[in-house]
Structure 1
Amino acid sequence: MSNGLNGCGEVVDLPISNTHHMAVLQAQDSSHTISLNKLARCGDLYGASAPMQQLFQMIGKVAPTSANVLIAGESGTGKELVAQAIHQLSREQEQPFVALNCSAVSPQLIEAELFGHERGSFTGAVRMQKGCFERADGGTLFLDEVTEMSLDMQVKLLRVLETSRFCRIGAEEETEVKVRVIAATNRDPVEAMKSGILRSDLFYRLSVFPLDLPPLRERGEDIRLLAGLFLDQLNEEDGRNRVFSKASWRLLNEYNWPGNVRELKNVVHRAYIMADHELDLLPAVNPNRSMVSEQIGDCVTVQLGSKLADAEQRLIYATLGHCGGNKTLTAEVLGVSLKTLYNRLNEYQAKLFLGDVIPHARPYGTQSRNQ
């Protein structure tokens, strides 16, 4: 089937439209021959690794039920895609699927977004508006970043989950709905509950069936398979035949991918735009850095007045590129330990991708990340 799911809710193999990438992968890295035919598909999720195969099986088991699901995983791991796959495999697949990002709605407006409002119930309410629960009646409501919801709002959400009834703002009568709720968070939900960010009663109501999404760095060969898939899609759209450089293939598994699958897809797209034939992922991983243009041959030039930390960063990235992404060789050339090099690279990644994260809102899973 086109959505990668069969009638029994089992994952089926991903159909490959052509053998272009099989040839490319063999030619580019003969020591690690990879076949895209290994990829399995569940909705719009792809994976061949053991963690993803287990996730697909769990989706297939919970989807036909009416159980609420709580999805935990770092940003970019595909939490909404999991919710969509569950809905597609449910008995209510023909009914609405409504998604709301709780962190993107102000606390003053989220009640109206969820439950709707009557005309004239507040300034600007010029007409009656149905909320997410009402629009999702009979189907699935996906609440992303549910731990960003205020505690007062969590109490109101809990009541709807318990009674299936709510009032639009300004209404006198309650509305009854039948909605399956799938919630998601990029925090560790247990830690969020212990710290008081997530109410314990709401946690237990939502996590009838908890799902943990693996970060990309723990998915092994999926990184290279997904990169090949994304490149294949871009080549097919443009009618081109671009390939990854050998250094890029090495970089794929050595980079930590803090932004997960979303970051990988964006990096491949950026590198594809900049490439003539071979894609170079290093500058695409760090698009805001100027060290690439400042490297001439085997030399790196640093402008007088530059901060020492910036100069060190340019030298490390330039050496890493010169060594083809080999971190062990890079550490030897720079005269530092491999641990020191990893610490520096993790610091640069954190500044680039996680610099805008509030300290107390640490993304789920980062506390256990290997340094």
Structure 2
Amino acid sequence: MSDGLSVCGNAAIPGAQTLSQLQEATSLFKNPDHCGDLYGTSEPMRHLFQMIEKVAPTSANVLIVGESGTGKELVARVIHQMSQAEDKAFVALNCGAVSPQLIEAELFGYERGSFTGSVRMQKGCFERADGGTLFLDEVTEMSLDMQVKLLRVLETNRFYRIGAEQETEVKVRVVAATNRDPLEAMANGSLRSDLFYRLAVFPIHVPTLRQRGEDIRLLATLFLDEFNAEDGNRKYFSKASYRMLNEYRWPGNVRELKNVVHRAYILADQELDIRPGIDSGKTGASDHAGECVTVQLGSKLADAEQRLICATLGHCGGNKTLTAEVLGVSLKTLYNRLNEYQSKLFLHDAISHPQPYNMQARN
């Protein structure tokens, strides 16, 4: 081809001009290194594959650490699939998406009549995962009281359903994950150190997409091949899209990459251009790079957190998804925090500006 662009399956491979060059360029996409459903040829991913292969056959608890969107749940599933309990249940719970009032029932279950609305006995995640793997995502979002109860189960393999008089015994492998630095979480009091050491028998770090170099184009091509196969199409990336794949920082990691490719695929007639999707995601995030949040010494930690969240939300142009990615928390956690701030504001306004008593309304 005169422009130095060769086609491999449904994707364009820049720079492959001879047959040998084309074969070398396409081999990456036809036979990428993988571990289960995890794909990658970069050094960080090869190291991740080695760690998974070492720990999967054992019964050790695992703590997966990585930014939002890096694929921590997929890592947990691969560990389960490569374990001796692969034919048993894999149960996942996002601790940040469950309210503190309900998480105990989600984990341990409850007996009929133990509280209003409990019309039948319900098994919790531990019981449903008996013999298999329980994946606890965003474990640092769990309250400290609940962390104590979780620690006891990890130590004894026993727990009480809510309202039960007898203990239930299970054999469950726990794989936990967090998008926070565990050491910082312990330092600020959001993660108990004894729970950390119980969970992190074998810690695993999942690399960010920007650390994976050549994997970015590989994953983008795999996603495009997936969309093409679903719809029977043969769409391909533009040369400008290939350049942008490696130039962009991908703050949302693999999740953001897949969303950008999917959006470009939907909009494309034949040739995909990912730039509009990336440009819209960068709105507000790059225009204020020099801004900072100043917190007065002696401020409460909760107040400092609120200032940071609100400032980041404005920094991201009101985009809550991007805000959550920048802060390294789940979208559910962000919404919970914003709802708390809104409730406090409403209460403050109600106290500061009480409504007059309306006798006519009462009568």
TM-score by length of 2: 0.75
How far did residue 70 of structure 1 move?
A: 0.1
Greater CA deviation, 188-197 or 113-122? 188-197
Measure, in 1, the Cα distance between the counterparts of 2:330 and 2:115. Answer: 35
- For the 8 Å contact 2:157–2:169, the answer to whether it is kept is yes
- For the 8 Å contact 1:138–1:177, the answer to whether it is kept is yes
How far did residue 190 of structure 1 move?
A: 1.3
Measure, in 2, the Cα distance between the counterparts of 1:183 and 1:349. Answer: 32
How far did residue 361 of structure 1 move?
A: 5.6
Label 1:272 to 1:99 Cα distance change in 2 as closer, same or farther (>3 A).
same
| Deviation sequence 1:94-114 (CA, Å, 0-9, x none) | 111110000111000000000
Measure, in 2, the Cα distance between the counterparts of 1:243 and 1:29. Answer: 15
TM-score by length of 1: 0.73
Pairing 1:72-87 to 2, within 5 Å after superposition: 72-87=65-80
| Deviation sequence 1:313-350 (CA, Å, 0-9, x none) | 6xxxxxxxxxxxxxxxxxxxxxxxxxxxxxxxxx6699
Partner secondary structure for residue 125 of structure 1: coil
Match of 1:180 among 170, 173, 178: 173
Is 1:198 matched with 2:191?
A: yes
Is 1:133 matched with 2:126?
A: yes
How far did residue 277 of structure 1 move?
A: 1.3
| Deviation sequence 1:226-258 (CA, Å, 0-9, x none) | 111111121222222211111111000011101
Partner secondary structure for residue 201 of structure 1: helix
- Residue identity (%): 67
How far did residue 21 of structure 1 move?
A: 3.1
Task: Give the equivalent residue in structure 1 for 2:12.
Answer: 25
Match of 1:223 among 216, 219, 229: 216
Measure, in 2, the Cα distance between the counterparts of 1:55 and 1:143. Answer: 20
Amino acid of the structure 2 residue aligned with 1:158: L
Measure, in 1, the Cα distance between the counterparts of 2:246 and 2:70. Answer: 16
Task: Give the equivalent residue in structure 2 for 1:148.
Answer: 141
Task: Give the equivalent residue in structure 1 for 2:360.
Answer: none
How far did residue 144 of structure 1 move?
A: 0.4
Measure, in 2, the Cα distance between the counterparts of 1:111 and 1:131. Answer: 8
Pairing 1:301-312 to 2, within 5 Å after superposition: none
| Deviation sequence 1:276-299 (CA, Å, 0-9, x none) | 11111011224479x9xxxxxxxx
Label 1:56 to 1:349 Cα distance change in 2 as closer, same or farther (>3 A).
farther
Measure, in 1, the Cα distance between the counterparts of 2:121 and 2:223. Answer: 43
RMSD: 2.7
Label 1:59 to 1:357 Cα distance change in 2 as closer, same or farther (>3 A).
closer
* Structure 1: tracts of 5 or more residues without a match: 1-18, 292-308, 314-346, 364-371
Partner secondary structure for residue 355 of structure 1: helix
Match of 2:55 among 59, 62, 81: 62
How far did residue 352 of structure 1 move?
A: 6.9
Label 1:362 to 1:177 Cα distance change in 2 as closer, same or farther (>3 A).
closer
Is 1:244 matched with 2:212?
A: no
Task: Give the equivalent residue in structure 1 for 2:277.
Answer: 284
Partner secondary structure for residue 67 of structure 1: coil
* Structure 2: tracts of 5 or more residues without a match: 1-5, 288-314, 332-363
- For the 8 Å contact 2:88–2:132, the answer to whether it is kept is yes
Partner secondary structure for residue 354 of structure 1: helix
Task: Give the equivalent residue in structure 1 for 2:250.
Answer: 257
Task: Give the equivalent residue in structure 2 for 1:92.
Answer: 85
Measure, in 2, the Cα distance between the counterparts of 1:118 and 1:94. Answer: 28
Label 1:358 to 1:217 Cα distance change in 2 as closer, same or farther (>3 A).
closer
- For the 8 Å contact 2:68–2:328, the answer to whether it is kept is no
Measure, in 2, the Cα distance between the counterparts of 1:47 and 1:360. Answer: 23
Partner secondary structure for residue 240 of structure 1: coil
Match of 1:43 among 36, 49, 54: 36
Measure, in 2, the Cα distance between the counterparts of 1:141 and 1:195. Answer: 26
Aligned residues: 292
Measure, in 2, the Cα distance between the counterparts of 1:157 and 1:38. Answer: 42
- For the 8 Å contact 1:70–1:210, the answer to whether it is kept is yes
- For the 8 Å contact 1:36–1:225, the answer to whether it is kept is yes
Measure, in 1, the Cα distance between the counterparts of 2:236 and 2:200. Answer: 43
Match of 1:354 among 299, 305, 322: 322
Label 1:358 to 1:282 Cα distance change in 2 as closer, same or farther (>3 A).
closer
Partner secondary structure for residue 78 of structure 2: helix
Match of 1:119 among 112, 122, 126: 112
Measure, in 2, the Cα distance between the counterparts of 1:136 and 1:143. Answer: 12
How far did residue 115 of structure 1 move?
A: 0.3
Label 1:360 to 1:285 Cα distance change in 2 as closer, same or farther (>3 A).
closer
Partner secondary structure for residue 12 of structure 2: helix
Label 1:354 to 1:99 Cα distance change in 2 as closer, same or farther (>3 A).
same
Is 1:110 matched with 2:103?
A: yes
Label 1:175 to 1:51 Cα distance change in 2 as closer, same or farther (>3 A).
same
Partner secondary structure for residue 93 of structure 2: strand
